[in-house]
Copies of this chain bind each other. A is one copy, B any other.
Amino acid sequence: MRMTALPRVDPAQLMELLSVSLAAYYGDFTLAAASESLTASQGKTLSVLRRGPASMSALATTLTCDASNMTGIVDRLEKRGLVQREPSPSDRRVKNVVLTSEGKRVIDVIRGKMHHTLDGLDRLDEQERTTLYALLERVFVAQPATARP
Measured CB to CB, the residues of A under 8 A from B are: 1, 3, 6-27, 29-31, 44, 47-48, 51, 62-64, 111, 114, 117-124, 126-142, 144
Q: Do A139 and B47 touch (CB < 8 A)?
A: no
**A134 and B62 in contact, given A25-B140, A111-B15 (Cβ under 8 angstroms):** no
Q: Do A14 and B144 touch (CB < 8 A)?
A: no
Q: Do B18 and A64 touch (CB < 8 A)?
A: no
Q: List 16 A-B contacts (CB under 8 A).
A: A1-B134, A6-B130, A9-B133, A11-B122, A14-B121, A17-B140, A20-B141, A22-B26, A23-B63, A31-B64, A119-B144, A120-B138, A120-B139, A121-B139, A128-B138, A132-B136
Q: Do A133 and B17 touch (CB < 8 A)?
A: yes
Oligomer: number of copies: 2
**A131 and B3 in contact, given A20-B141, A25-B140, A120-B140 (Cβ under 8 angstroms):** yes
* Chain B, Cβ-Cβ closest to A25: B22
Q: Do B133 and A117 touch (CB < 8 A)?
A: no
* A23 shortest CB reach to chain B, Å: 7
Across chains A and B, which 10 residue pairs bring their CB atoms closest together, nearest first? A27-B64, A120-B139, A21-B140, A9-B133, A24-B140, A132-B135, A21-B136, A9-B130, A6-B130, A30-B64
